[in-house]
């Protein structure tokens, strides 16, 4: 199929459907599979078979659009890894590997040239030069379209779109990343972004990466007001670091199937995944779209409300009062005992209270990562025995959100 036919077919699918299934998180999976990479894009040169294999896995799972392994393959980012001299080879080989995967599977999938943000503040002219250089290579080697993705700054995304458009006539999908409130880190709302992007020559726009599936859906809900084709390729969720490895929260494929049904109904015409998503999640998206799945539950984007028991006294703390009245606050930090007796610590706290110079004590939680008496239990004891207001520390690594809420409710009751 000629490049013109492929382009027309892509635009036709955006306008009239059905939605196109995109692939998942290339960079995270390659980094896990290939040891000692300076960046995921280096795999194009060091482990090309792994790149092709991952592309094939996504295609076999049902992806109709695969992205080249070039998200961070601009001159500036490669330079941070001393790979700037390999710029052309990394981008050229990336397109070749994606096209090889297409030939291996025998499926006429779209190959999208992936372009990410530069990642540092630069003048608009410099940014445009960098984006244009990468786009020129990707188109020259046979990309069918461009995915400009994971942008936090709307101004940088606009520069990228206009630079790519001055270089190429291929379709552009422009994607920003949003938090749970459908805002970028810079404070741009999804609605504001949509209004700006609608004025540019892009085939579709939407959300990728970000704070997970619900964040992407919240963004789509704001962006779909004028009927422009949308795209959604979210993370599994927010990552954490454990044992030197990046860990993503577990999300069952069924969760992605439900996400796909909602995204389609909100106007998404490209639906896939980003960091943490595997072929299993892409297969779930494909099945949901093929089966015309209907959402099992309505979407609700309301913020959680603080629930207060009826008749509960709303007591202002001493610290809150002191800060409100702009008083000088003196607090002493204490470490809970490592054993099972708090008598010594209570004596210290009592002495501080009787000195008349200390108004509060803040209590560490597992100081120096050593197991000690729980800070909330110690705080409750000090307040009960000494009448000295405490500021307990809580290390969130040890608790789930529900567990921490339970602790705080119990501590509130214990100190009344």
Structure pTM?
Answer: 0.71
Name the nearest CA neighbour of 378 among 403, 355, 406, 386: 386
Q: What is the pLDDT along the chain (416 residues), one digit of tens a residue?
A: 677 888 889 999 999 989 999 999 998 889 888 999 999 999 999 999 999 999 999 999 999 999 999 999 999 999 999 999 999 999 999 999 999 999 999 999 999 999 999 988 899 999 999 999 999 999 999 999 999 999 999 999 999 999 999 999 999 999 999 998 899 998 999 999 999 999 999 999 999 998 889 899 999 999 988 889 999 999 886 555 455 554 555 567 888 999 999 999 999 999 999 988 999 999 999 999 999 999 988 877 655 444 444 444 557 788 888 788 888 888 888 877 777 787 877 788 788 788 888 888 887 776 655 666 777 777 778 877 777 888 887 766 566 665 666 667 666 666 55
Name the nearest CA neighbour of 233 among 58, 402, 12, 25: 25
Name the nearest CA neighbour of 166 among 197, 196, 139, 184: 139
Residue identified by tokens 């779109």 is 161
> By the 8 A CB rule, do 383 and 315 touch?
no
């Amino acid at each position: 199929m000629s490049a013109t036919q492929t382009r027309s077919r892509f635009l036709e699918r955006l306008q009239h459907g059905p939605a196109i299934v995109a692939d998942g998180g290339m960079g995270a999976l390659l980094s896990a599979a290939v040891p000692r990479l300076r960046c995921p894009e280096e795999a194009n040169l060091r482990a090309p078979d792994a790149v092709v294999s991952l592309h094939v896995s996504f295609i076999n799972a049902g992806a109709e659009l695969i992205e080249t392994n070039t998200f961070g393959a601009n001159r500036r980012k490669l330079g941070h890894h001393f790979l700037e001299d390999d710029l052309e080879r990394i981008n050229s080989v990336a397109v070749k590997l994606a096209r090889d995967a297409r030939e291996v599977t025998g499926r006429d999938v779209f190959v999208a040239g992936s372009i990410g943000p530069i990642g540092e503040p630069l003048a608009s002219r410099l940014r445009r030069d960098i984006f244009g250089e990468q786009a020129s290579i990707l188109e020259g080697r046979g990309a069918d379209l461009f995915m400009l993705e994971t942008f936090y700054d709307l101004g940088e995304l606009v520069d990228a779109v206009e630079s790519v458009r001055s270089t190429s006539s291929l379709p552009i999908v422009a994607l920003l990343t949003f938090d749970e409130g459908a805002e970028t880190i810079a404070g741009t709302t999804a609605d504001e972004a949509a209004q700006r992007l609608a004025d540019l020559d892009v085939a579709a726009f939407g959300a990728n990466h970000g704070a997970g599936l619900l964040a992407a859906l919240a963004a789509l809900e704001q962006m779909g007001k004028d009927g422009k084709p949308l795209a959604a390729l979210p993370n599994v969720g927010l990552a954490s670091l454990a044992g030197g490895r990046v860990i993503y929260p577990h999300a069952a494929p069924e969760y992605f199937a439900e996400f796909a049904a909602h995204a389609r109904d909100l106007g998404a015409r490209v639906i896939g995944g980003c960091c943490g998503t595997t072929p299993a999640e892409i297969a779930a998206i494909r099945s949901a779209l093929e089966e015309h799945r209907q959402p099992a539950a309505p979407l609700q984007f309301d913020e959680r409300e603080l629930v207060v028991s009826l008749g509960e006294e709303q007591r202002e703390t001493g610290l809150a009062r002191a800060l409100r009245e702009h008083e000088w606050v003196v607090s002493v930090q204490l470490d809970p005992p490592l054993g099972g007796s708090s008598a010594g610590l209570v004596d210290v706290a009592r002495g501080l209270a009787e000195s008349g110079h200390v108004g509060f004590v803040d209590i560490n939680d597992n100081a120096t990562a050593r197991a000690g008496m729980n800070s909330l239990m110690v705080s409750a004891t000090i307040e009960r025995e000494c009448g000295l207001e405490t500021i307990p520390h809580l290390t969130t690594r040890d608790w789930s959100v529900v567990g921490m809420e339970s602790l705080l409710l119990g501590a509130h009751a214990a100190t009344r």
